[in-house]
Every structure is written in structure tokens, then in C-alpha cells.
Structure 1
Amino acid sequence: MLYPYSNNDYTARTHDSYLKSAREAVKKSKGHKEVAVNGIKGLSYLFEIFRYPDQIIYDYMHLVCLCHIPSLISRWCSCLNKLSILDIDKKLQRLRTPHNIKVAFLESIKVASLWKAKNSRLFVLYVGVPIMVNHLPTLLFSHFIIYSLAIKLLHAPQSKEDILLGERLLDYYCRTASKVYDSSIEIFSLHAHLHLGHQVRLHGGLAHTSAFSFESAVRYIKKNAHGSTNVASQIAYWNNLRCTTQMKKFNLVTNSLMDVSEENGNI
């Protein structure tokens, strides 16, 4: 399904309008056939807790790093020759990052869809622009610079001006995307970028609301399980054991302590 930029009316959905469309979709759906009304297929119990859209955020790890960047690179590969692709791959493989950034580019840009999210994050925020400068056509490269700068500004904005500039850059990027590439790029994942500026104003920078920290925690928790049987029970057991045996800090009462310093003649 396409979301042409020209069809945007910038009227934000409300929680009530969402529920209205969801209830209508439920009524129109019969049996196993789901009918979408305004892009909504039905009700969710989560909306008894959250209000849409202000309390529902776009996760930039999936939206940007796992969706748009691989899609963008795939389009680039169609206009790059083998030597350029080989040179780009070598530059990515030779990257030397700080000790706290453990990212290795093991796959070629031809299969960027296999990259991990941290690879795409490093690419869009830091290394993509300098590496692609001598390989992409001027139009594609200029367009990518706009996108990279916009994401970087919204990633950890320092001021309201940063958010406003990032929002305007993304608007321009989305508005011109179909002219730089073609109309097939105007899918929902591109359209969703238009909402990132508003989201950052409400919830803070993209870096603070992404799934990166959650994924890291999942990796830590999974270390408590071995094999593929009763994984949840194993995690619960070891977590419970750790909580019950964890030493708690306590302070001794001052008058219960003995002064054993040599100055006071104590041994």
C-alpha cells in the first residue's frame, strides 16, 4: 500500500477516531476475512491502557535501522558497479571504532537486509556519508545527506531548534523521495518518518525511546537459559535465585564499632 506525500492533509488522528474506525472494522469483518477501515483492522486491549497516537511511539531501531536504511541501500546497489560495491565493502570492513562500539560489517552492502540494527545505526549516524561520497550519484548522495542529518538531529537533540530542523529536513526528504527514486518508495515506513519530529517533542530523542536497550537486556536475560526446553522457567528460576541471594548493603551502628587504631593503644 502506498502513502503518497501529495495525499497528506496533516490532520492528526485522535484516540476517539481510531476507536471508531476499529469498531467499524470489527463490524465489517466476517469470519476469517479482516476488513481494514482507514488502515485499522480492529480493536486492541492495549488501547484501554494507552492513548493513540500520543502514547504510541515509532521505534527508530525498526523503522530506520532495520527497514528504511536496508531498503535505501538496496536501491543504491542497482546503480553501483561491482568495483564501487567492492570498495565500499572494504571500507566498511576496515572501520576502526571506539572500544565501546563493537560493530563489524561482515555482510556486503548487496545484502544490507541481513545487517544487524547496530550496523545500520552506525551507517546512518556516522559512517554512511563519508563512505558513500565518492560512489553515489550527486542526486542520491545529496538526498541521503539530508536524511542522515535529520536522523542525527532527532537522535539526541540538544534544543528545540534541533527538533524543528530535523523535522523540516525529514519533510523535505519525504516530499522529494518519489522524484529522486520512484513512487514505489512511498510506503508506510517512509510516511511514518513525518511523525518523528512530533514524537521527539513528546517523548525525547530517538536514542532514548528505541528498542536497542531492550534488545541488549534480552540478550543478558537469555544467558540464564540453556537449551530450548522450559526457557521461561529457567530464566524465572535463576532470576529468583539471584534476587534471594543478593547481598544487601547495610550500615553498622557507630557506637557498636571498636576503635582499633594504634593511636588509642588498642590491639
Structure 2
Amino acid sequence: MLPSTWKGVWDAGYNKVLYPYANNDLTARTHDGYLKAAREALRKSNGGKEVAVDGIKGLSSLLQIFNYPTQIIYDFMHLVCLGHIPSLINRWCTRIDKNTILKIDNKLQQLRIPHNMKVVFLESIKMAWQWKAKNSRLFVLHVGLLHAPQTKEEILLAERLLDFYCRTASNVHNSSIEIFSLHAHLHLAYQVRQHGGLAHMSAFAFQSAIRYIKKKARGCIRLASQIAYWVDMRRVTQSNKFSLPKECLMNVSRNKTDLKKYIVTIKLIHNRLFCP
């Protein structure tokens, strides 16, 4: 769902929906607007075929959890690394000769990369659409000057550069580049201001941890329930480290004061063991 009221236009020539920059009215959508469109779609459907209003087909329980669109973020991995960059590189390759492509391939293969990154460019740049996300990320962020914007002024500069890029992309290539994945770049700077750096909210972290999650499920039935069950089991059986207070080593006599101290100590140990 778009975070703005900008509507796409079907282009029969390219057989895709385009979002021409010239049509952008810069009007942001609101949570109330989403709810209104969802209720209108529900009313028009009237129990029959689903009808979409402004791209929304009806009410969702997620509308009660998230604030649309400010809390619905774009994933840097899929939007940029797996979406726009391979498409853009393919366009570049149609404009350069074979010798230039060969030089680029050789430079990529000769890169000396830290061992913990584990990124190897096996395919030619002409096959960028077959690259994994980590290859595209390395190509975008690390092949060349590396700089991480931190100040508001730098984020504003990046926003202006992205705006210029989206505004002029169709002049460099053609209007077929103005698809949703290009338009979405206009919202990245606002997203960084709201939620922090793109690296902290991308799917890369999940992709790295998914192999551990997959070990908790077998087959293809009720995967979420299986994962939740084994996570609960681990939390129940995992022991917490604790240190015994010195008082637990004392000799207990029939003295009432000593018995009270003993009872308090036993309760303390019980709480640390079974009530984390």
C-alpha cells in the first residue's frame, strides 16, 4: 500500500503500472484515510466479490495494531538490493560495450573482502538479476567510497539526491523505469527519520537467523505453532545463573530467629530458580 495518494497508471506498451514523477501530488496518506477506505471497500463488497478502494479491500486486524502508513516500513533488502538495483544494472549493461563489462567483472572478482562478509561475485554483472541480496548490498554500499550519513543535514542531502534521481530517471532511461520500486525511494528519508537507519530495519538480520528458526519446525504443517512450542520449551528448561547468598550455609537451630532467616533464604532461592 502506498504511503501517499499518488496513483499508478497502467501502461499497455510496457505492460506494467507506472508512477510518473510528474503526477506526484505530494499528499501523504493518513491512518484515518486507510480506515475510511477499508470501510468503504467493505460496504461496496456487501458480502460479494471484494472491491478495492484506493488499493484497500477491507478492514484488517493489523489496522488495530499498526499506525498506517508511518509504522509500515520499506525493507531495504527487497526494495533496493533485490528490486531496483538489479533492474538498474541491467539497464546500464545495455549502454556499455562488452570490454567495459569484462573490466567491471574482473574488478569485482579481484575485490579483497573481509572473510566474515563471505561475498563472492560468481556471476557477471550482466546477470545481476541472479545476484543474491548480499552481492547487491556490497555493490551499492562498499564498492567505492563508504559513508554512513548521521546528521539531519546529510539525510536531507540524501533525500534531495533521491528526489533528483527519481525525477530524472525517465530522462536517462525511459518511462518504463518509473515503477513502484523507484517511487518508493522517495519515502526512504522520511522512514530513516522516523525509525532509524535502513540497515537496522531490513530483512538481512532475519535471513541470517532463519536457519536457527527452521530447526524448530519439521514438515510443512503448523510451522508457527511448532516454532512457538519449542521456543517456549527452551525458555522453561533453560536454567538461569544465580549465586547463593551466604546465609544459606548457616547451621539452623531451633532458635526462632534462625528459623525465620532459613525460611526467608529458602523463599529467595525458590524465587530465583522458578520465578525468573
Residue 135 (structure 1) aligns with: none
Residue 112 (structure 1) aligns with: 128
Shift of 1:189: 1.0
Decide which of 43, 47, 64 is 1:48's aligned counterpart. 64
Q: As a proportion of its length, which structure holds more helix?
A: 1
Shift of 1:242: 3.5
Residue type of the partner of 1:24?
E
Residue 265 (structure 2) aligns with: none
Deviations, residues 87-124 of structure 1 (Å, cap 9, x unaligned): 32232223221132121222222221221111111111
Structure 1 residue runs without a partner (length 5+): 131-151, 258-267
Residue 78 (structure 2) aligns with: 62
Deviations, residues 48-94 of structure 1 (Å, cap 9, x unaligned): 11111111111111111110001101111212333322332232223
Query: Would the alpha carbon gap of residues 209 and 23 (structure 1) be closer, same or farther in structure 2, given more than 3 Å must change?
Result: same
1:176 aligns with 2:176: no
Residue 204 (structure 1) aligns with: 196
1:219 aligns with 2:235: no
Distance in 1 (alpha carbons) for counterparts of 2:139 and 2:201 = 19
Residue type of the partner of 2:103?
D
1:121 aligns with 2:113: no
Residue type of the partner of 1:54?
T
Distance in 1 (alpha carbons) for counterparts of 2:55 and 2:227 = 38
Decide which of 75, 78, 97 is 2:94's aligned counterpart. 78
Deviations, residues 4-25 of structure 1 (Å, cap 9, x unaligned): 1111111111111122223333
Shift of 1:26: 3.7
Which segment is superposed worse, 186-195 or 229-238? 229-238
Residue type of the partner of 1:174?
C
Decide which of 6, 10, 22 is 2:26's aligned counterpart. 10
Structure 2 residue runs without a partner (length 5+): 1-16, 250-276
Deviations, residues 216-266 of structure 1 (Å, cap 9, x unaligned): 22122224456x455836645654453344332111324668xxxxxxxxx
1:20 aligns with 2:40: no
Query: Would the alpha carbon gap of residues 181 and 28 (structure 1) be closer, same or farther in structure 2, given more than 3 Å must change?
Result: farther
Could you state the TM-score of these two structures normalised by the residue count of structure 1? 0.76
Query: Would the alpha carbon gap of residues 18 and 224 (structure 1) be closer, same or farther in structure 2, given more than 3 Å must change?
Result: closer
Query: Would the alpha carbon gap of residues 122 and 14 (structure 1) be closer, same or farther in structure 2, given more than 3 Å must change?
Result: same
Distance in 2 (alpha carbons) for counterparts of 1:229 and 1:13 = 38
The number of aligned residues is 233
Q: Radius of gyration: which is bigger? A: 2
Query: Would the alpha carbon gap of residues 51 and 244 (structure 1) be closer, same or farther in structure 2, given more than 3 Å must change?
Result: closer
Could you state the TM-score of these two structures normalised by the residue count of structure 2? 0.74
Query: Would the alpha carbon gap of residues 87 and 35 (structure 1) be closer, same or farther in structure 2, given more than 3 Å must change?
Result: farther
Residue 110 (structure 2) aligns with: 94
Shift of 1:29: 4.8
Distance in 1 (alpha carbons) for counterparts of 2:176 and 2:184 = 15
